[in-house]
Amino acid sequence: MVDLHQHSIYSDGTSTPAELVERAVSLSLTAMALTDHDTTAGLDECARFAAEAGVRFIPGVEFEACEGPHVLGYFGGRPGPAIATAERDYRRFRTESLLIVLECLAKEGFELDPDSVLDRAASGTPLVSHVVAEMKDLGYLSSLDRLIEEFTRLFGPEGPAALPDVTENQWPVVELIQMLRDSGAVSVLAHPWESDLALLPEMIEAGLQGIEVYNRNAHLTGNVENLKRLAERHGLVMTGGWDYHGEAQAARLAKSDLTGFAPPDELLEPLLDLVAAVPA
């Protein structure tokens, strides 16, 4: 089994890169990738721990486009400089959004130090997950059940700290794919929804090279075979992963019927062939 879609504390995951490597070892993964949202900040750290543990590691990243699709990028080595502009841009508006959330929480009596929250993301992407972690450490959220309940109450669409809509700040999907290509990455459409697939022709024209065929939603809805046929029809590489965000998420997913979900090893070599063919 491989897991080519995971997030760490550098974005909205709750695991450190070292803990993700430990998970890979415990699951006997053939290969793992780190694909944090909007940032490559954790890649060197994860690569170091993976090498020490003898785990095959693929550096990656994930960006969300303004039209809705999420695009994964997989690198053969260190990402090229073209990605730096996108990382800075996304970090800027994510930070602005988070500061608005913190102001709203303060009005509800939740006093959080903005610097402390932002420090949790280090050089990565500050997201609401870092706010939740800070609230949990300060005792505002005491258990997983409370966390889920309070998250919905506070950050849901009708909540007092509803997450600001950042859609207009996100890049168009074509520009994201072109940026990833210029950065030396193979771009892959992550966990596609029907609305995402409507944009597939223009994404392929821009340089999309793969589809995350083996994803949780496709498994639960019986859509894996349809995605496989779609990838074959368009000559796209197939990838797969858990979109893993940490133990709390895993506990929630345990209630879903994910029996048999195991992205197979044969996904790896075609992806690596494409990565190796990307111009340096």
Contact between 225 and 219 under an 8 Å Cβ cutoff? The reply is no
Question: What pLDDT sits at residue 74?
Answer: 98
Task: Kindly state the tokens that stand for 43.
Answer: 């890649």
The CA distance from 272 to 56, in Å, is 11
Identify the structural domains of the chain with CATH numbers, from first to last: 87-167 (1.10.150)
Task: State percent of the chain over pLDDT 90.
Answer: 87
Residue 193 pLDDT > 70, yes or no?
A: yes
User: 214: closest CA among 197, 186, 238, 189?
Assistant: 238
Question: What pLDDT sits at residue 150?
Answer: 81
- pLDDT tens-digit series, residues 14-71: 999 999 999 999 999 999 999 999 999 999 999 999 999 999 999 999 999 999 999 9
Question: What pLDDT sits at residue 146?
Answer: 67
By CB neighbour count within 10 A (0-12 exposed, 13-18 middle, 19+ buried), where does 165 fall? exposed
Task: State percent of the chain over pLDDT 70.
Answer: 95
Contact between 5 and 212 under an 8 Å Cβ cutoff? The reply is yes
- pLDDT tens-digit series, residues 211-259: 999 999 999 999 999 999 999 999 999 999 999 999 877 667 666 778 8
Q: How would residue 144 be classed by pLDDT, with cut points 50, 70 and 90?
A: low
The CA distance from 187 to 36, in Å, is 14
